[in-house]
Structure 1
Amino acid sequence: MQRSPMSWVIDPDDPRAPPQELWDRMTPEERQRVLDTLPSEFEVSEASPPEGDFHFNPKVAARDALGGYFQRMGRRVYLACELPVYYPAARMFAPDLIAVLDVEVKERAHWSVSAEGRGVDLALEILWSGKAKKDLEDNVTRYASLGISEYFVFDRRRRQLRGFRLAQGTARYQPIVPQEGRLTSAVLGLDLGLQGDRLRFFHGQTALPETHELLARLGTMVGDLEARIEVTELRLDEERRRLDEERRRLDEARQRADDERQRADDERQRADEAERKLAAALAELERLTRERS
C-alpha cells in the first residue's frame, strides 16, 4: 500500500479506505477517485467460500422482512447483504447483513464510512458451514472495536441465536440476555427469535412477514377478491335479468295502454259519427213533417 500526503492507492490484495485524517484533507475530486477505486467485489479466496441456500436464504429473508417493515413504517433504514464495508484504514469486511438507521435508501457499491459520515449500526452473520471462530470470536472483537452498536449471529445448523451490544462508553460487547427465548435489538426496535431453523423478527408478539408469506397473503386476498367479484357479477347479472323482465312488463303494459287508448279513440269516433247521422236523420224527418203539413 502506498500513499502520498493527498492521495491514496488501493492495494488489490488488501483494499482499504484512507485514514480519516487523510480523507479530511482530500479534495472532493480526490475523494471521488478513491470511492470509484474501492472494489465492490472480491475473489472467493479473499472471502468466505459459498455455503449454498442454507446460508443465502436466511440473510435475504431477513433483509426483505426488515425492508418491508421499515418501508411500511415510513422510516429510512438502509439494509444490505454482503456489501463491502470500509472503515478508515481498516481491513474491508462484508457482513451477511448490515443495517444503518436514518440514511438515504439507495443502491450502493460499498459502504464507505468516511463518505457516508457514519458507520454501521447493526451487523448480522449467518453461520452454516463456515468457521465458527470467525463469527463468534473474531467478529465480536472486531465489530466492537469499530463501534458497531449491535451484532447478532444466527447459527442455523445448531439452531442458536446470539446477540451482542456495546457496553456504554466502551468498545467492548456484552452478550444480550434472552427474554422468553428472544433477543431484543435496541437498534431495530424489534426482537429476534427462532422458529425451527428460521430466523424471525418480531414486533411485540407478531412476526414480521417474509416475502413468500406476503405473496401467499396477497394470493389469498386476490383469490377472495376474485370470488367476491364473481359473486357480485352473478348478483348483477340476476339484477339485470330482473330489470329486463320489469322493463319487458312495463313495455307490455304501455302497449296495452296504447291499445286501450286507440280503442277508446275509435269508439269516440264511431259515437261521434253515429250522433252526426242521428242528427242528420232527425233534421230530415223534421223537414218532411213540415212539407206534409
Structure 2
Amino acid sequence: MERAPVSWVIDPHDPRAPPQEIWDRMTPEERQRVVDALPSELEISEASPPEGDFHFNAKLAARDTLGGHFQSIGKRVYLACELPVYYPAGRMVAPDLIAVRDVEVMERVCWSVSAEGKGVDLAMEILWNERSNEELENLAARYASLGIPEYFVFDRRRRRLRGFRLAQGSARYEPIARKGGLLASAVLDLDLGLEGDRLCFYHALARLPEPREVLARLGAMVNDLMARREEAEQRLDDAEERLDEERRRADEERRRADEERQRADEERQRADAAERRLAEALAELTRLKRERR
C-alpha cells in the first residue's frame, strides 16, 4: 500500500517549518520542497527597521573576524548575519549573527533546523537604535525557549555588552559573569569584550584582528615589499650603470693600449727602416772607399 504524500502549506504571512513529527514522515523530496518554499528574505518593517552603517558594519566585522579566525585554525563553524532560521513549527527568527559548530561551512538561503539536523549554537543581537527592555527580554526568552545555548547583546551606541548562557537543564538564560572585563563564550571558545564602541574577540587575551586590520597590515607589507623591490631594482640599476661605466673605461683603456701598440709598431717599423737605410749607406760608403783605392 502506497503512502499518501505528506503536505505542508506555508503561510506567507506567518511562514513556519513543519512540526518535527510531520517532518519525520516526509520523503526527501517533500522535505526539499518545504525548504525551498521557506522565505529567505526579510521584509523591512517597523519592527525591524534598517539601522544604517553603525549596525551593519558591526555585525559584518564580527562575522568576518570570527570567520577568518576559524578558517585559520581549521575549525568548522558556520556564521551568518540575519539569516532566516526555522525551528519546527516555530516562527522564523533572524538574529544579527548566528554561529553553528561542526557543520559544513557553505552559503545558505536559510537555516532549517529539521533539514540541518541541529539548531543554532549562538545568537547575537547588535543594537544601535533604541530597543525597549521588554522587547529585548521577549527576544531573550524566545531564543532560550528554542534551546540556543548562548546569547549575546552588543549595544554599540551605549557601549555595552551582555552575555547569557542556558541554565543547566532548563530553558532559561543566566548572565555570563565577567572575568577581567571579558565575557567567555564556550561555543566560540573565545572571549568577548569592547574597545570603545568596537566589539572584539580574544583568544588567550590576544585580540583577533578585524578583516580591515588584516587588509591594512597586508597592504603595508605589500607596500614595504614593493618599496624594497624598487630599492633593490634601483641598486641593481646603479650597479649595472657602474658596470657599464667600468666597461666603457676598460674599452677606452684597451683602445688607448691598442693605439700605443700601434704607435710602438710604427716606431719600430720606422726604426727598422732607418737601420736598413743606415746599413745601406755604410755599405755604400765602404764600397766607394774600396773603389778609390
> Quick one: structure 1 residues 287 and 117, their matched pair in 2 at CA, closer, same or farther if it must change by over 3 Å?
farther
Shifted more, 100-109 versus 245-254: the winner is 100-109
Shift of 1:84: 0.1
Paired residue type of 2:91: R
Partner residue in 2 for 1:66: 66
Partner of 2:134: 133
Report the equivalent of 2:213: 213
Deviation at 1:290, TM superposition (A): 8.7
Deviation at 1:229, TM superposition (A): 3.8
Which digits, 9 at most, give the CA deviation of each residue in 1:189-209, with x for residues without a partner?
211111122211122333222
Residue identity matched to 1:42: L
Deviates further, 231-240 or 28-37:
231-240
Deviation at 1:126, TM superposition (A): 1.4
The aligned residue for residue 177 of structure 2 is 177
| 8 Å contact kept, 1:51–1:130 | no
How many angstroms does 1:56 deviate by?
2.4
Contact conserved, 1:120 with 1:148, CA < 8 A, in 2?
yes
2:113 maps to: 113
How many residue pairs are counted as aligned between the two chains? 289
The 1:262/1:24 distance shift into structure 2, 3 A limit, reads farther
Under a length normalisation based on structure 2, what TM-score does the superposition of the two structures give?
A: 0.84
CA shift digits 1:74-107 (9 cap, x unpaired): 3332211110001122211000000122332222
Aligned residue identity for 1:29: E
The answer (yes or no) to whether the contact 1:15–1:38 under 8 Å persists in 2 is: yes
Secondary structure of the 2:51 match is coil
CA contact (8 A) 1:78 1:100 kept: yes
Q: RMSD across aligned C-alpha pairs, in angstroms?
A: 2.8
Any idea what SS the aligned residue of 1:109 has?
coil
Post-superposition shift, 1:72? 2.7
Question: Counterpart of 2:22?
Answer: 22
| Identity among equivalent pairs (%) | 73
Contact 1:193 1:201 in 2 (8 A): yes
TM-score when normalising by structure 1: 0.84
Please tell me whether the aligned partners of residues 48 and 130 of structure 1 are also in contact (alpha carbons under 8 angstroms).
no
- 1:20 and 1:280, CA in 2 relative to 1: closer, same or farther beyond 3 A? farther
Deviations 1:138-169 (A, max 9, x none): 23332233232211111223322111123344
One-letter code aligned to 2:151: Y
Partner in structure 2 of residue 250 of structure 1: 250
Moved more, 279-288 or 107-116: 279-288
Matches of 1:100 and 1:285 in 2, distance apart?
A: 124
Partner of 2:83: 83
Q: Hey, what does 1:235 align to over in structure 2?
A: 235
Farther-moved stretch of structure 1 (5-14 vs 76-85) = 5-14
> Alpha-carbon deviations, 1:252-287, whole Å to 9, x = none?
111122223323433444455456656766777888
Write the distance in 2 (CA, Å) between the matches of 1:158 and 1:119.
30
Comparing 235-244 with 252-261, which one deviates more in the overlay? 235-244
Task: Between 172-181 and 204-213, report the one with greater CA deviation.
Answer: 204-213
Superposed, 1:268-287 pairs within 5 Å as 268-273=268-273
Range that drifts further, 177-186 or 150-159: 150-159
SS of residue in 1 equivalent to 2:22: helix
d(CA) in 1 for partners of 2:116, 2:276: 111
- Offset at residue 125 of structure 1 (A): 0.7
SS at match of 2:179: coil
- State the SS of the aligned residue for 1:164: strand
Alpha-carbon shift at residue 113 of structure 1 (Å): 1.5
Structure 2 Cα separation of the partners of residues 268 and 100 of structure 1: 99
Residue 53 (structure 1) aligns with: 53
Deviation string, structure 1 residues 40-64 (Cα, Å, up to 9, x no partner): 1133348522233333222122112
In structure 2, the CA distance between the partners of 1:31 and 1:287, relative to structure 1 (3 Å rule), is farther
Cα–Cα, structure 1 residues 168 and 254, in superposed 2: closer, same or farther, change >3 Å?
farther
Farther-moved stretch of structure 1 (220-229 vs 148-157): 220-229
**Aligned-partner residue type, residue 135 of structure 2:** K
Structure 1 pair 141–150 and aligned structure 2 pair: CA distance change class (3 A): same
One-letter amino acid of the structure 2 residue matched with residue 49 of structure 1: P
| Gaps in structure 1 of 5+ consecutive residues | none
Q: Distance in 2 between matches of 1:44 and 1:52?
A: 13
